[in-house]
Amino acid sequence: MELLQLRYFLVAARYEHMTHAAEQLHIAQPALTQSIQRLEAELGMPLFDRKSRGISLNDSGRLLQKKLYPILAALDSLPEELREANDFSSHTIHLNMLAASTMVTKCIIAYKAQYPNDNFQLYQNRNSDNYDLCVSMVAPGSVQDERTQTILEEEFFLAVPAASPYAGRSSIRLGETAKEGYISLDKTRPIRAICDQFCETAGFTPHIVFESDNPENVRNLISAGIGIGFWPKYSWGPLRSSQVVLLPIESPECRRDIIVTKGKEGWQNPVVRNFYRYLLSYAKQM
């Protein structure tokens, strides 16, 4: 069966008159008659009852008409749906967020206020390279990939409860906290590895009394006096609790670079490039 044959059949079924249907289709009446006859031959049954003054749908014809309406309606709407899907895809930024999620989320909210038609597909997958942009972190000064740009150099504070004996200090050496209990993000988060490295550089392995995959839990437990922990200066936002004190760390140097890496394919999309520039500008304001 050919699509054109089926369309011809539906017009003939609507008019139940070959001449009128042919006029509607702007074809010769014999061409329409031959098309219907070929369709009936292929199906192995008549679709119309022939009368001296015209034609009328039989039961087989009515069943075919009923089945064809939703099929052809779906086919007719397909081009517009494909255009809409392509437009949505071209305005979607696939962003893998492996670091600074609070900062990047705020950046996305600000960006959407200016570019409401652009969309985001967000991931947190260290093993995936299926992204347009990936925000992650590395040790200071270690960026070498030409597709990667440092967007923020970030210092870490040591967050201690306000009731801690350290709270009155103006700064602290990390080695002084070797026997303290640490509240930390769990090992699935890239930030955990670099924080553990800070402690190892200071000569000890941190005693983790609680770990979570949620930064908010870490902040709340430090506020509750359960332990101490690392606090990235920018990406966790400003300190809003009077129950926590942030101490500059004298030694070792506790810093990281927040980086953004361009994907291999999506960089050709001007929407991706626009958000990339916006992200760099946003980070500079931190």
75, 86 Cβ separation under 8 angstroms: no
pLDDT at 87: 61
143, 150 Cβ separation under 8 angstroms: yes
Phi then psi for residue 92, to 5 deg, are: -115, 130
Phi then psi for residue 260, to 5 deg, are: -125, 130
pLDDT at 68: 92
Rounded Cα–Cα distance for residues 122 and 221 (Å) = 28
Rounded Cα–Cα distance for residues 94 and 255 (Å) = 27
pLDDT in tens, the chain (286 residues): 788 899 999 999 998 888 899 999 999 999 999 999 999 999 999 999 988 777 899 999 999 999 999 998 888 887 777 776 666 567 889 999 988 888 899 999 999 999 998 999 898 888 888 899 999 988 887 777 888 999 999 999 999 999 999 999 999 999 999 999 999 999 888 889 999 999 999 999 999 999 998 888 999 999 999 999 999 988 887 788 899 999 999 999 999 999 999 988 778 888 999 999 999 999 988 7
pLDDT at 85: 60
270 burial (CB, 10 Å; 0-12 / 13-18 / 19+) is exposed
pLDDT at 170: 96
128, 233 Cβ separation under 8 angstroms: no
User: Helix 18-25 and helix 3-15: axis angle, to 10°?
Assistant: 130
132, 123 Cβ separation under 8 angstroms: no
148, 227 Cβ separation under 8 angstroms: no
Q: Which amino acid is at 268?
A: Q
- Report the 3 state secondary structure along 85-130: HHHHHHCEEEEEECCCHHHHHHHHHHHHHHCCCCEEEEECCCCCCC
